[in-house]
Amino acid sequence: MQIYTPDEIASMLKISKHTVYEMIKRGDLAAFKVGNKMRIEESEFERYKANMSATPARAQESKGNPLHSLQLAGSHDFLVEQLVKYIASEGTGLSITPSYIGSLEGLMMLYRGSADIAAVHLLDPTSQQYNLPFIRQLFVHEPITVMRLASREQGMIVAKGNPKDITGVKDLARTDVTIVNRQKGAGTRFLLDSFLANEKIEPTNVKGYDNEEWTHLGAAAYISRGTADAALGIRCAASQLGLDFIPLTKEQFDLVFRWTPGNREALQHLIDLIQLTNFKDSIADLDGYDAEEFGTIIYANHSTEE
C-alpha cells in the first residue's frame, strides 16, 4: 500500500504543501503521524479525489436538492472509512468529512457544535461500559441519538511469528519490549491505561508509552517496520499488514448524532442509508468486526420528529 507525504500530495494536486496541511487540519484529508511527520494513505487520497470529483456532478444533478455536508469527528475506524466512501460513491446527496482526532476530542467537538457526528469507543473504568457514561454526562440538554455501528476486537498487535513472545499487557513492562501508543484522547489509549492499571503497571515503566500515533494502521506500521514491538489496536489493522494479533477484549464502537435544525434532514437520511441499504455488507470484508447490533439505536434523549 502506497503512503504519501504532504509534498507528494501537493505535487499531484498542483497545489502548495501549505494548502495540503490546511486540508488535513480541516479534516478534509485524513492523515497519520510518523514521528513528527504527516503521512497520507493511498486509499484516503483516492477517497478525497473521488469525493471532490463526485460533488460537482451530484450538485448539478439535483439543483433543487443541494448536497448536504456532515462533519464527523472522533476515532479512526476502518468501518467509518467504508461509510465515508460509500456515501461519496452512491450518489446519496450527502457527503461526510471525517476528522480522526480520537474519541474524546470527537465528543468534545460534537458538544461544542463543531461536528454533526462523533465516532467513539470510550471505556468507562468504573462501570466497565462503553460510551454511554461519557455521553450522558456531556449531553444533558442537547438532542442526540446513539447508534451501535459494530463491536470489534482489540488486542496486542505484534510482529509476524511474535518473536518477542508477547502474551499480554504484563509483557509491556519488559525492558526488551517497546510499544507505540495512540494519541491522548484516543479510545484505544483509554483502554491501554485501564489495562495497565489492572496490572499495576506505571506508564513510565513502559518503553515507548509517549510515542504517539493517530490511526490503527499507522500504529501497526511501526510493528511492520520493526521500530516497535507491540501496539494496542484492532485485529483488522494487524490483518491488513500481515501481523500477528493477541485478542484481549471486544469493544463497542458507536456513532453519536447531534440534531440541529440545519442538519436534521441530512442526519435522518444518513441513518436510513446505514440501516436500510446494503452498507452492512461492508463489515463482511473487515476482520475482527461483529455486526450483530449493527444500526441499532441504543440511546436517544429526544424525538427525531421534533
Per-residue pLDDT tens digits for 168-189: 999 999 999 999 999 888 999 9
What global pTM score does this model have? 0.74
> Residue 28 is part of which domain span?
1-59
Q: Is 109 a domain residue?
A: no
Least confident of 112-116, 126-130, 178-182: 126-130
What sign does the CA torsion over 20, 22, 28, 33 have?
Answer: positive
Q: Is 26 a domain residue?
A: yes
Residue 199 backbone class (left: φ over 0; alpha: ψ -120 to 50; beta: rest) = alpha
Q: How many domains does the chain have?
A: 1
pLDDT in tens, 239-265: 999 999 999 999 999 999 999 999 999
- Say which CATH number the domain at 19 has: 1.10.1660.10
Q: Is 29 a domain residue?
A: yes
Give the SS3 label for residue 296: strand
Using alpha carbons, select from 99, 136, 91, 141 the residue that is nearest to residue 117: 99
Measured CA to CA, the distance from residue 174 to residue 297 in angstroms comes to 42
Q: Is 229 a domain residue?
A: no
Which residues have C-beta within 8 Å of that of residue 89, sequence separation ≥ 6?
50, 54
Q: Is 97 a domain residue?
A: no
**First-to-last C-alpha distance (Å) of the chain:** 46
Least confident of 19-23, 103-107, 249-253, 298-302: 19-23
pLDDT of residue 36: 75
Measured CA to CA, the distance from residue 87 to residue 264 in angstroms comes to 17
Q: Is 221 a domain residue?
A: no
Q: Is 8 a domain residue?
A: yes
